[in-house]
Every structure is written in structure tokens, then in C-alpha cells.
Chains A and B, each alone.
Chain A
Amino acid sequence: MGNSTVEITFYGRGGQGAVTAAQIIAQAAIRRGLFASAFPEYGAERRGAPVRAYVRLSREPVLAREPIERPDISVVFDTRLLNVFNIPAITRRYIVINASSKDEVKQVLSSFNGTVVYVNAYEISTKHLGKPIVNTTMLGALLKVLDLVDLDTVKELVLETFGKKLGKSNVEALEEAYKMAEVIV
């Protein structure tokens, strides 16, 4: 990442943990001495409604408090959100996407010129958590292309955020996603 500020938007649905994921990434960066800001674009919170959460990471204090219009990285929890927010058109560099297969990715992101990180997050999160709450899984995939924060710090924060028992299975999901995610150029 050449820019001084890296802008990431998480796209999810209410209840999938997009806001928490954004906060974990910001906190991981802060723990490593960077500057960061993370904030959600709230509607009145409703389970299932589309949610955006923004993260800015920087080596300098972050002044701007505006929504991210052109993210460097979009983390997409659900392929059906792509069109809701016009994600392929506004994303500058990477789309990290939860999809059922590489074929599906090729199909839904045919118009995107940047790099795609594909992970089957529903499968991985269901395996480890027993339900398709994909936020920690998506963080594992994101870490493939985000070098400002490291896997260990994020694992630490996942454990702190979710507590001992839930934290452990979330870390497992995170680690598996980190291993399984594929970068498709």
C-alpha cells in the first residue's frame, strides 16, 4: 500500500459482525502503534439490513471523519451486497469476497479490474462456529493482502473480543481462512 492512509470498507448484513470486524482491525493497528479510525454506517440497527463499516489505517493521525467513498479494500460478506453498494465500480484495489466457489466469484466480479481474494467463509465459519457468522473468517482472508496489521495481533484481539470459548473457535475460523483464502489476479 503506497498511500499514507489505507481505506477499508466492510459490507455485511446486520448480525454478521461487520462492525466488530472493522473495530478489530482498527484496534490491531492501534496496538501496533499506528493511527486508525473505525466507524459504522448505521441505519437503525436491524438484523439482516445492509451494513457498512469503515476503517482508515495510517501512520499519521486521521483527520477525515467522512464515509469512505472509494475504498482501497472492500470486504464483502455476501455476494448479494455487490450491487447494493456498486462495490466493483468503487473499489480501488482489492475485493475480499465470501462466495461459494471460484466460478461464482468470476461471474459476479467480471467487471472488477483489481485483485480478488476469495474465501468460502460460510463453509469455514459453519465448520468452526456452527453458524454462518463470517466476520472473523473474513478477517483471515483480509490479512492475505493487508500488511499493516499482523495475524498474531488480530488473533489476540479476537480472543479478547469474544472471550475464551467463543474466541478459540473464532481464531480457528480466522486461521483456516488465512490459509484457505485464494488471491485471484
Chain B
Amino acid sequence: MAVAKALSVREELVKERLGLTSNYAAAYAVKAVDVDVIAAYPITPQTTIIEKLAEFVANGEVDAEYIPVESEHSALSAVVGASAAGARVFTATAAQGLEFMHEVLHIASGLRLPIVMAVPGRALSAPISIHGDYQDIMNARDSGWIMLIASSAQEVYDSIIMAYRIAEDSRVLLPVMVSYDGFLMSHTTEPVEIYHEEYVRKFTPRNLSRYRLDPRSPITIGVIASPEWYYEIKYQAIHALKESKSVIKEIHGEFNKFFGTNYDIIEKYMVDDADYVLITYGGASSGNAKEAAKRARERGLRAGVVRIRLFRPFPTEELVNAIKDAKVIAVIDRALTPGNTYEGPVFSDVITALYSSGVEKPVVSVVHGISQRTMLADDFYNLYKMLDEYAKTGEYPRRTVFMGLRT
């Protein structure tokens, strides 16, 4: 019944089913929500997003100011200014570009500006790598942005639409980063159902209920705050980020109802009765883990996957609830936190979440797919077998497992 209703909703909303890369899907979403200002600087693997947007603007399909700036630092700075003036804005970057933007990341969240940015993740130099992983995105983790990690081109499209609603919500007013796998998604063509723009615009009306730069009613944005004020103003922003989770869930619910989809802040795949759970993020890790879970189930292992879709604020309660009955868990990281007790950054987040809930579990930290090192579904299947072994022996690694590393 619910499924039939969802299908009929989509029949009305879907304009066409296209073969798009995640980058093009991002550009189509930006077109659909009707932005005012786009500023960006090209960098692999992001470039095709802004190429497509430049094409849309040149053809008159998007009525926006397109600023071809001289660097990523300027790209984000330009949209900070435009957003402060009340414009709906978009930018995109990756890798060194995101690093170059880094100081402005904190400015955007500190000034509570509803900026939306797409980031197909890429490994950082040195050595120089153009290939995908999540190091750039992980480094942006503490900059106070809401961070969604998508796992398909359709999800990139839908997430960017949702992102504008989330960012502009007066209970939130924070920038949103929609990230996904560089190359393995940014350059992968797959089916995307794009919606009639009138419906997208109905879902994303401009929400201008915030203070904006306007000469008719002057305010000052970006002043210095002495130590007596800085702490409180910063706390406002981190409080807003934490509280945004409920708003994000609410907007997910509205989106699902409106567009006939089924998104949540985490995705559970065959988890309910699972003994062995892989916690993943992004497209390649999650897709291959799901494929592996299917294979493992065929061979009698109760395997499941929990994919983290909302990374900041972290879905603590939802994640703990999803994994609390599992026997052994592994967290697959495609980024590193060098020098930490374990080198998998999201592993640490999962452990913290479990700790906060008083749940003790064997959890294994696994690093894989660094600089797009080939990840096979069978690698993940082998992980399930390893977890089964750990459950039987009660012994499991107390340090990060670097999969595929030549030793």
C-alpha cells in the first residue's frame, strides 16, 4: 500500500530518467532548486559539476550569477558574501581545493550562512593523487558544517535538494556539505530520476528568515569577538549543529512523503537479525559491502550493513540502536587520522557513540580504498568471514587493519 502510493507519487513528480554521473546529478539538483549565485574553481574530480552548471547558466537554463573565481579560497569567500546578502548559493570543490578553502569553512559556519557545497572526495597530496578517498572530507569534519555522505547519483541529487531546506531552516542556519566518492561516483554514470522543477521549487521555497546584509537596514557581519564573547557565539553554532539532527530527520520525512523516497540519516541493509555488521560511508564501500552481505547470507552468515548518511551531526542514537544486537562490528574507513590510537576516523566516532550509550561491543577498525585502491565486494565478504572467526575465538584485532596494504 505504502509502496504503491510512493510509486504513484513518483510517477507524477519524475520528469525523466537520465543516465548521469553523480557530478551531473549535483548540477541538475542545483538547477532545480534555482540558485542565485554560483562561485567555483575547477579541480578534479569536481570540475564536471561546475562545467555543467556553467553550461546551464550560458544556455539561460539557470538564472544565476556565475563567478569564475581565481581560487577555492575565493570561491567560498564569494558565496559567503552572497549568502550574507540573502542569495541562495552553491559551490563545489575537492581535495587540495577543500584544503585551500579550509579557513573559510569555519567562517561560513561561524557566520551561520546556509551555503550548500558538493564535494566528491579525493586523496590529498603528497604524493600527488587525483584518485578518490575521504581524507579531504574528513579534514573538514571539525569545521561546523552539516555533512551528508551520499552513496548513489540519485542520492546526490536528492540530498542537494534537501540540503537547501536544511541549511535555510531558521532552526539550523548552517552550511551543508554533500559529499560522495570521487570518481567511483563523481564519474560513474547511473540512472537518476530527475523531478519536474516546479515540484522541487515547491519543496524548496526560499527561506529568508534570517538577518541579511541590506543597505536599507544595516547590520554588521563578521566582527571581532573578544574572549568574553567568542566562546558563547561558538557554542551557539555547535549547539545548533547538534540540534539540527532532529530538523534534518524532519526534513528527510517531509522529502520522503513529497517525493516518494525512503531516506534516513543512516541506512540499514539486512541489519535487523545480523550478527556481523559492516559500518560504511559513501558509494563504493557501501555498495560493495551490501553485495558482500548478500553473498555472505547465501553462505549462511548473518551479515548486514549500516551506512552512515548523516556524518555531522553524528547519528549517535540511531547508529547504536542499529548495531546493539550485533556480535561483531567492523567500521570501514576511507580516510586516516594519523597517530591516533586507531587510524580510522569514523571508527573513533562509532566507539564514542557506543561509549556514550554504555554499550560494549567488539568493533574492528578497517582502512580500505585509500587513494581509490581497488576494493572488491569479495574483500568485504572476507571481512564478514573474519568477523565470524573473531566471534568464535573471542579474539579480535586491537589495532587498525589496513586492508590490501602490501606488507
Contact = CB atoms under 8 A, between A and B. Distances in A.
B189 A39 contact: yes
Given A30-B18, A42-B183, A63-B290, A37 B130 contact: no
Contacts of A38: 19, 188-190
Nearest to B376: A66
Among B191, B294, B375, find the residue whose CB has the most chain A CB atoms closer than 10 A: B191
A40 interface: yes
Contact of B374 (A37, A44, A66): A66
B377 A66 contact: yes
Contacts of B375: 65-66
A64 B189 contact: no
By secondary structure, the A interface counts as mixed
Interface residues of A, number: 23
Interface in B274-288: 283-284, 287-288
Contact of B288 (A22, A26, A30, A66): A66
Contacts of B187: 39-40, 42
Contacts of B147: none
Nearest to A29: B19
B334 interface: no
By secondary structure, the B interface counts as mixed
B58 to A, nearest CB: 15
B131 interface: yes
Contact of B189 (A27, A44, A63, A69): A27
A65 B131 contact: no
Interface string A108-145: 00000000000000000000000000000000000000
Contact of A23 (B189, B284, B377): B189
Nearest to B186: A39
Nearest to B181: A65
B252 to A, nearest CB: 20
A26 B294 CA distance: 24
A174 interface: no
Given A23-B189, A64-B288, A69-B376, A30 B184 contact: no
Given A65-B288, A66-B377, A39 B184 contact: yes
A46 to B, nearest CB: 12
17 contacts: A23-B189, A30-B17, A35-B190, A36-B190, A36-B191, A37-B189, A38-B189, A39-B183, A39-B184, A39-B189, A42-B183, A62-B190, A64-B288, A64-B291, A65-B184, A65-B188, A66-B376
- Which 5 residue pairs spanning A and B have beta carbons closest together? A27-B19, A39-B188, A30-B19, A65-B287, A65-B284
